[in-house]
Amino acid sequence: MSTNSHAPTGTDRTETANVRVVRAFLDALVAGDPDAAQQYLHDDIVWHNVSLPKIRGIGAVMRIFRGMSRPGFGFDVRLHHIADDGTAVLTERTDVLIYKRLRSEFWVCGTFEMRDGKIAVWRDYFSNRDVLWGTLKGIVRAF
């Protein structure tokens, strides 16, 4: 599946190293390759989907990624905007969670805090209502 995580047509592709890391990380998740994704994460990674508990450490994050890469599961992303602010990369995107024929699409604003060239904090903000609505629409489309 194409990630569409690259710059929209006609935009400048001059990017910082941090932006390239975040793009490559998201591309690895879309490819269902947790081992490739791991190389972009700091060992002390903190993954926080705001309103949910924080997931701390590379081991805990990788257990989730490996679960997401099982047959029938998937992830896609449409990256709308990406910006580097020194040690942070900000994203505005549509994430797609996939389970068999069900595709739940919802808007996400993400912050990736960088340390030593790797993602040390990944914080996503989204509306639970949008996730629910995206899931309901996905159920209708699946049937």
* CA–CA dist 45, 30 (Å, integer): 19
Q: 27 catalytic, yes or no?
A: no
List 12, 85, 95, 130, catalytic entry:
95
Structure tokens at 103: 């595709």
List 33, 43, 76, 124, catalytic entry:
124
Q: 76 catalytic, yes or no?
A: no
As annotated, the active-site residues are 95, 124
